[in-house]
A and B are shown apart, each in its own frame.
Chain A
Amino acid sequence: MRAAQRRLAVRFDEAVWREAVRGFSRQPLEIATSARSEAERRGIALAAVIPCEPLGPDGTALAGCAKLYLPAGDDPPSERPFAFVLQLARERDSTLVWVFVAFGHRHPRARVRSVYERAHRQLHGRFPEQS
């Protein structure tokens, strides 16, 4: 199999998932739920994700993470306003997997946290400006 076609399984922790989707309205909730089902069924190809900036312009520190634009499909990024942030991890038998970290808007309105800020909080326990 070509390396570019490699797919990794995705692990979802229920506490993280509940918090990640809490409060979203129907449409984004459906997008997130559908993406999770697909990810659990088929995994996520390395080629389908984009590496996160280790240190983003908004102060987010997401080294070791990648993002999957949603809804899934071939639409241009501008028409995929949501994302999962996933952390690369190893299972006990050394298999590489994705661990789900956050879901949310890529470019939210004012006073709404972006998926990158949400991921930073999940990984580091607080938002970037609170560090």
Chain B
Amino acid sequence: MSESPDESVEQLEDLLDGASRTLSSLQALNAGQAERVAERMDRLASQLLEISPPPAMEAVHARLGTTPAISEDFASAVDEMGVADGEG
């Protein structure tokens, strides 16, 4: 029987919390161990994003008292930014 999304989210959150606690309790990790733990945590965090919705951006702007800038605002600000590097 498959789990509900809520159960899956809870399980992943528990795993991440457990990994964070374990990491905090360790006095020292060698570089290889730290890298392995970090890799696993990154993957778990990405999995969690797949199954849980983000905070709605409309509500975010309402809470912050902001609205996205219009494209003309952005176009004029771009002149002051660094040079685009074609990534992202």
Contact = CB atoms under 8 A, between A and B. Distances in A.
Contacts of B60: 13, 15-16, 99
A97 B66 contact: yes
A42 interface: no
Contacts of A41: none
Interface of B: 16, 20, 23-24, 34, 37-39, 41-46, 48-50, 53-57, 60-61, 63-69, 71, 73-74, 77-88
Interface string A5-33: 01000010101100100111111100000
Nearest to B43: A111
Contacts of A50: 81-85
B87 A122 contact: no
Interface string A87-110: 111111000110100000110110
Highest count of chain A CB atoms <10 Å: which of B56, B57, B80, B82: B82
A90 B65 CA distance: 9
A115 interface: yes
Given A50-B83, A91-B66, A114-B88, A25 B37 contact: yes
Nearest to A109: B39
